[in-house]
């Protein structure tokens, strides 16, 4: 009788041992599956942010304001600014002109568009577009149309790539009078 009881207890312990191993294996599999799911989500988020950052990083120092041709014409209340682009492709360029406690912003793209108050220099034509690669263009902004009555305080530019706005690539905080530059 004692032998039978030991056999039954021995079988019982084997079953408990096996179910513990199965539980441990299942836990390891669940942890690995959860880790894989989290990894895929995090990897996609990081890859997307990294791609945007890389695109913007490539613009550093390649889109600039040419201070030699950027000035304020007090007689006409116009602001002339010049943009230079090196060998880089962007979708649009966000321009911000600040003064008198306000900022006026507009976007210049690769396609010719009409932007209220903005014309090409020196022709005065209204088909505005970005300069090509390794080129520069100068524009004239009618400050009266923009709501300014005095010289602007600053101009800032920020490229837009794949619909994402990058950080400010250049700014000019001292605007000279065009008569001084002539």
> Model confidence over 112-136: pLDDT tens digits?
999 999 999 988 788 899 999 999 9
- Here the tokens at position 98 are 């600040």
Mean pLDDT of the chain: 85
Q: Does 88 score more than 60 pLDDT?
A: yes
Q: Read off the pLDDT band of 25 (50, 70, 90).
A: confident
Q: Read off the pLDDT band of 92 (50, 70, 90).
A: very high
Length of the chain equals: 182
Which pLDDT score, from 0 to 100, does residue 21 have?
79
Which pLDDT score, from 0 to 100, does residue 1 have?
52
- The CA distance from 166 to 181, in Å, is 31
Least confident of 47-61, 83-97, 125-139: 47-61
Q: What would the CATH number be for the domain defined by 63-181? A: 2.60.40
Residue 83 · residue 97 · CB < 8 Å: no
- The CA distance from 95 to 176, in Å, is 18
Higher-scoring residue by pLDDT: 6, 121: 121
Over residues 47-54, the mean pLDDT reads 62
3-class secondary structure, 14: helix
Which pLDDT score, from 0 to 100, does residue 114 have?
92
Q: Read off the pLDDT band of 49 (50, 70, 90).
A: low
Cross-strand pairs, 65: 83
Q: pTM for this structure?
A: 0.69
Q: Read off the pLDDT band of 182 (50, 70, 90).
A: low
| Percent above pLDDT 90 for the chain | 48
Residue 139 · residue 83 · CB < 8 Å: yes
Domain ranges of the chain: 1-57, 63-181
Q: What is the 3-state secondary structure (H, E, C) of 48-116?
A: HHHHHHHHHHCCCCCEEECHHHCEEECCCCEEEEEEEECCCCCCEEEEEEEECCEEEEEEEECCCECCC
Which pLDDT score, from 0 to 100, does residue 20 have?
76
Compute φ and ψ for 32, nearest 5 degrees. -65, -40
Over residues 96-116, the mean pLDDT reads 92
């Amino acid at each position: 009788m004692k032998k039978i009881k030991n056999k039954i207890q021995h079988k019982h312990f084997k079953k408990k041992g096996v179910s513990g191993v199965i539980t441990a294996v299942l836990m390891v599999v669940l942890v690995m599956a959860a880790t894989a799911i989290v990894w895929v989500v995090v990897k996609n988020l990081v890859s997307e942010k990294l791609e945007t950052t890389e695109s913007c990083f490539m613009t550093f120092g390649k889109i600039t304001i040419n201070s030699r041709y950027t000035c304020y014409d007090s007689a006409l209340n116009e602001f002339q600014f010049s943009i230079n682009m090196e060998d880089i492709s962007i979708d649009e360029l966000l321009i911000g002109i600040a003064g008198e406690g306000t900022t006026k912003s507009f976007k210049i793209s690769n396609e010719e568009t009409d932007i209220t108050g903005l014309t090409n220099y020196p022709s005065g034509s209204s088909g505005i577009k970005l300069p090509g690669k390794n080129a520069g263009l100068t524009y004239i902004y009618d400050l009266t149309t923009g709501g300014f009555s005095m010289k602007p305080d600053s101009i800032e530019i920020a490229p837009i790539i794949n619909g994402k706005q990058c950080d400010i690539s250049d700014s000019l905080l001292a605007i000279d009078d065009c008569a001084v530059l002539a």
